[in-house]
Structure 1
Amino acid sequence: MTNLTALRPPQPWTAPTAAGPVEETLRLPGSKSMTARALVLSALAGGSSTLRRPLRARDTELMAAGLRALGTHVSVTDDERWLVRPRPLQGPAHIDVGLAGTIMRFAPPVAGLATGPVTFDGDPYARRRPLGPLVEALRSLQVRIDAAPGGTLPLTVRGTGRVTGGDVLIDASASSQFVSGLLLAAPRFDHGVVVRHVGPPVPSAPHLRMTVQMLRAAGAGVDDSTPDVWVVEPGRLTGRGWDIEPDLSGAVPFFAAALVTGGEVTLLGWPRGSNQPVDRLRALLSEMGGEVALGTNGLTVRGSGVVHGLDADLSDVGELTPVLAALATIADSPSRLRGVAHIRAHETDRVAALARELTALGADITESLDGLEIRPRPLRGGTFDTYDDHRMAHAASLIGLVVPGIELSDVACTSKTMPEFPALWSTMVAGKDDRRPGSHPVT
């Protein structure tokens, strides 16, 4: 099936350059990770659910469309409040995953609970993203799956309306989403599931904790007290209201802008208790020269205009690597970002792409299997290929704050998680009363 969204023309964009410190207070869309999990849990619950302030973006709309294709009622007409009413899951159905790891890894276990065949495919690069360990895990639970060699897309799940469940071994070192996908559907398995990870450490541990916390909030019995073992008891999930937090990953480029320009950026609506790795982000930005504070008005980051180098293992927050790498190129000392071999299989090979594009702008980069060594040098303008990857676009936009003439090959890829990004970024740079030029699409 042709994915028309993937065939959209690229939208080149000249990143605006800041004339001084940025000062901004903004309210960002909801977390993609929380929205995706809430949609799945709501589709499997025993009653209706509402998602308050969810993220409306390509990934989450494709997730909603996929669940709708299986028979679930998902209403997204109100941007502030999505309604999910569970219905019997059934095929035949087709689910377009786009380029979203959450859909290609969360939806197949759900499809195993449907009656009838469910096909999956997505953007061309999606066929290269790792999926094999999840396919083999589901097969070991007696789910029938037809997949391309290596367990990649396109694939067909031939559901029978039930999954027996039980014990399963999986190597989730390529993505924590392999585990999350199994756990989210497990309460509906006849015997629940016991997932045992075997292999190198699972990356993105905060996302796994989010999965466990949200399962418990929906009424599931989950035991994660043993390292690398997750036990989910069979049982009924409860429909409920989900308050979706602002997207911390989406806020990172805005926070980084404060560091780069010596400004101040506040994200409104940040909760005191969070399912996202805010403490880890606070530590990283503080080490790079920022001041991070959580107050009654939200989460605020202040910068001095001087950025320090960073030596950090980012295995738990790999999605932050592109923006942190961009910060490192304009720091006052070298940086080493490591522990992120798994992001080579994200929307693109982010390690290789960052090395290539940052070097082209003049940075001194050494690429390793699991990260980057970055030695700052004077940067120059030029075209920055975004590889249809929203995080790459964020990195390029950040550099553009202090390096004139940074042209993104495509800014429309930010619609994956934040369609408003170009407008929000341009408004922040221009200030409330002075809309400076340079923040418009290239024609």
Structure 2
Amino acid sequence: MDIIVKNSEKLSGEVIVPGSKSHTIRGVVIGTLAEGVTKLKNPLVSEDTYASVNGCAHFGARIDTSGGDWVIEGTGGKISKPAGLVNLANSGTSLNLLTGVASLGNFEVVLDGDASLKTRTVQPLLDALNQLNVSAVSINNNGKPPLKIKGKLNGGITEVNGISSQFVSSLLISTPLAERDTEIRVVNIHETPYIEMTLKWLDERGVVYEKASDYTYFKVQGGQGYKAFEKAVPSDWSSATFFLVAGAITDSDILLKGLDINDVQGDKMVMEYLKKMGADIKIEKEGIRIRGGNLQGVELDLNNTPDALPALAVTGCFAEGTTRIYNVAHARIKETDRIKVMAEELSKMNAQIEETPDGLIIHKSNLKGCKVNGHSDHRVVMALSLAGMIAKGDVRITTAEAVSVTFPEFIGLMTGLGAYIEKIA
């Protein structure tokens, strides 16, 4: 599916931000490992979260997603052997977390996904599991899916490259169910807010562990288990990013509702980045209000918030002067190489943008309409939609169906605020 985006000078209205993908998938996975019946309220309904549900069902969880709440009948840590290949579609989070889950069984599991997921590097997690009595290999010997995992995870001492926080989170969620204690040493750590998110889930479940203050070392007590729980999924700051940026780069007045300013999600920092650039953002009783302003170029360290890079690259095109995004080389190993892709696609729109090894340098630009490639990457498609709102002339974006991976409501909510976005079959 393609979409056409026309210049949208003014947006106004309210948006109830949907549930967090990262929280939802953690809830599904931990509910699967728990003993008893878990209830997740306000889950994000998307292709990625359904991929986690499908994957967990392979391991013996019974999950009812037919109502507003998701009800999970857990396995009590005694996972079943999947009847066949576990297909996780395009969900990197599900792949990484369920690779750890697969290691808990004394049997072989094959995990795979779509063409995009087959490009995602998982080797650091495989290496870490192999140090814990697990056989964890990439079937094609390229560090990417399909993966073959055979436990059983016993505990011990391991080291993991933290280039993706999901590798660390996978170990933290699975190792409490190992027979013995596990010591985890983390090198090259990135995206620490997502590690904090996982630790908050463990804290709420009463998991016993020790940690270094910089998250480079953990000792997780073995022989533990999860108990069923009831939890409301916080709204998604990663999804809110696109409305915050849309409000900042247009003459807008948008109220975002449902966001928890105290949640551990790293992308809440986008609010501070935009304030630093001059956006008018206020926390009100009803929610967070964003109004357009005269933005100035700044330097932004996105090490903890790599998912914000596509949207902030567009913001840089609107800001006076120069915006430098840096310390975010790991954005290259997401669904796409987002540094390269955003530089290429915004350049087509007349952006003055330079790619660096760990980020982007963006100068104020008068964007022009043209056809751009969404690269089947949901965040790239949504970011290019924002660019279309400030471009002169229509912007046509390919592979726009990718938004359904994490944010199926994106187009409807944006048009509800006054943006012009048309679907083209």
Query: What is the TM-score normalised by the length of structure 2?
Result: 0.94
1:145/1:272 Cα in 2 relative to 1: closer, same or farther (>3 Å)?
Answer: closer
Selected match of 2:109 from 101, 113, 118: 118
CA apart distance, 1:346 = 0.3
> SS at 2:417's partner residue?
helix
CA apart distance, 1:401 = 1.2
Q: Does 1:204 align with 2:191?
A: yes
Selected match of 2:25 from 36, 40, 53: 36
2: CA distance between counterparts of 1:278 and 1:109?
25
2: CA distance between counterparts of 1:279 and 1:341?
20
CA apart distance, 1:279 = 5.3
CA apart distance, 1:307 = 2.2
2: CA distance between counterparts of 1:267 and 1:195?
39
CA apart distance, 1:247 = 0.8
1:192/1:266 Cα in 2 relative to 1: closer, same or farther (>3 Å)?
Answer: farther
Unmatched segments (≥5 aa) in structure 2:
none
Q: Residue type matched to 2:157 in 1?
A: D
Structure 2 counterparts to residues 1-400 of structure 1, below 5 A: 11-18=1-8, 20-78=9-67, 80-87=68-75, 88-92=78-82, 93-147=84-138, 148-159=140-151, 162-172=152-162, 174-198=163-187, 200=188, 202-227=189-214, 228-234=216-222, 235-277=224-266, 280-304=269-293, 306-400=294-388
Is contact 1:311-1:335 (8 Å) kept? yes
CA apart distance, 1:272 = 4.8
CA apart distance, 1:270 = 2.0
Is contact 1:396-1:408 (8 Å) kept? yes
> SS at 1:220's partner residue?
coil
- Which stretch has the larger CA shift, 222-231 or 22-31? 222-231
> SS at 1:109's partner residue?
helix
Is contact 1:117-1:156 (8 Å) kept? yes
Q: After superposition, what is the alpha-carbon deviation per residue over 1:117-142, rounded to whole angstroms, capped at 9, x for unaligned?
A: 22111122322211001011111111
CA apart distance, 1:115 = 4.2
1: CA distance between counterparts of 2:411 and 2:259?
22
> SS at 1:208's partner residue?
helix
Is contact 1:129-1:345 (8 Å) kept? yes
1: CA distance between counterparts of 2:2 and 2:235?
27
Q: How many residues align?
A: 418
Query: What is the TM-score normalised by the length of structure 1?
Result: 0.91
CA apart distance, 1:226 = 4.0
1: CA distance between counterparts of 2:266 and 2:285?
19
- Which stretch has the larger CA shift, 312-321 or 188-197? 188-197
2: CA distance between counterparts of 1:267 and 1:238?
34
> SS at 1:325's partner residue?
helix
> SS at 1:83's partner residue?
strand
Name the % identity.
Answer: 28
1:221/1:299 Cα in 2 relative to 1: closer, same or farther (>3 Å)?
Answer: farther
Selected match of 1:409 from 398, 413, 419: 398
> SS at 1:441's partner residue?
strand
Q: Residue type matched to 1:89 in 2?
A: I
Q: 1:425 maps to which residue?
A: 414
1: CA distance between counterparts of 2:181 and 2:202?
13
Question: What is the Cα-based RMSD across aligned positions, in Å?
Answer: 1.6
- Which stretch has the larger CA shift, 54-63 or 238-247? 238-247
Q: Residue type matched to 2:423 in 1?
A: P
